[in-house]
Chains A and B, each alone.
Chain A
């Protein structure tokens, strides 16, 4: 388990969170290299299907990042994300996915530090949990 390196997918909205991630880079802040970032226009664009698909394809964790409530470029997108992710969390729990593996965070364009500290925390927690093992679907897996 020592050498397990988690793969963590970040869905970041174009207008705030992605800018914060960019800022973290240009400011040469250090954070674990395990985060694969996917830019979307708004956190309201994140369909829970994307998160299931990410886990299915081997993500060990998923972070959804959007503008702070009230700041969404499209006014309501992040409220929709909030509602969806709150319900999604309940399903993830029933699927047996530990809550540390999925986070929804509000990160404004200037909050590079916030992203960096979330990244360190997620990395640590998910590394401690170990990999998610989703059985092969083409055959009947063992119980």
Chain B
């Protein structure tokens, strides 16, 4: 029997998701035995034109990591959709935008100006900016893909069959997802695979130390305290997003006394991760008038980065809204 064909592609991501595949360690050899990898830009020398020549639906599963930020991402992801039977959003960025998605708080111009002009370590006397085309003495033309106005999760561009969450997905989650996909016993389209259906608290080893009712007086940031690793981090004033985050990671961060930042994303019934997160977190602040609540919240300098760290482009509002010209 022919082996299933697998493709991997990266869009706007840090490379951690690629790394996480390699982190399968010796299991990667099992993967290689079970499947043929037909496209993997970071590791193998296949080109986009090789994919273009493949028959439609000839790839069994494509794993996409990273959100859509360049024209090229859009092109390749649409191409892989056409060539694949199943398309999987692998990791937080392709599922909901991830950390690079926080750039949706700024316009393209603001981003380019910041990166190419205003950053203190940049010395750019000629105000050089990347161009999509450059002719060098009529001999060669160099091309770069267009930088899109916004970063989008891939499911706003193509149909996505499954999601594998995490920043990056842990090797266990990745392996479970691969097993599910190769088993032929597929869950309903749109499911999150490889992770849990319940919130992180259910699998957290500190859950039993959580009192019936948690109330916070003072918000603490991880660098300000040495957290007691034996006590629910929330009760120590740390913003732990475990209660509203999908489990499946085994509470790795909490085991290292770091609060959950939400990289496994929302649970099934939630429509806006950040909205849900602030709903839960604000309600446990132990204050009864606006000034006091304000004061407590002033200990949280970046609410957007805290509650939408991995999901701003997938939020209801997608990013900073532009108000119509008056």
Contact = CB atoms under 8 A, between A and B. Distances in A.
Interface stretch (B148-156, B166-174, B176-184): B148-156
Contacts of A48: 272, 275-276, 278-279
Contact of B303 (A83, A87, A129): A87
A74 interface: no
B105 interface: yes
A56 B271 CA distance: 12
Interface residues of A, number: 38
A122 to B, nearest CB: 17
Contact of A91 (B108, B150, B152, B304): B304
Contacts of A87: 278, 281-282, 293, 297, 303
A99 interface: no
A50 B242 CA distance: 22
A95 B312 CA distance: 10
B324 A133 contact: yes
B272 A53 contact: yes
A79 B288 CA distance: 6
Contacts of A133: 321-324
Interface in B268-326: 270-272, 274-276, 278-279, 281-283, 285, 287-290, 293-294, 297, 303-304, 307-308, 315-324, 326
Interface string A119-143: 0000000000111111101101111
A134 B321 contact: yes
Nearest to B108: A143
B50 interface: no
Contact of A82 (B281, B293, B317, B321): B293
A140 B67 CA distance: 12
A134 B104 CA distance: 13
A96 B322 contact: yes
B287 A83 contact: yes
A96 B287 contact: no
B109 interface: yes
A22 to B, nearest CB: 27
11 contacts: A47-B279, A48-B276, A49-B279, A55-B317, A83-B282, A84-B278, A91-B274, A130-B323, A132-B324, A133-B321, A137-B156
Given A80-B282, A140-B157, 10 more contacts: A48-B275, A52-B315, A88-B275, A88-B278, A90-B303, A95-B317, A97-B317, A130-B324, A140-B68, A143-B149
Interface of A: 1, 47-49, 51-53, 55-56, 69, 79-80, 82-84, 86-88, 90-91, 94-98, 129-135, 137-138, 140-143
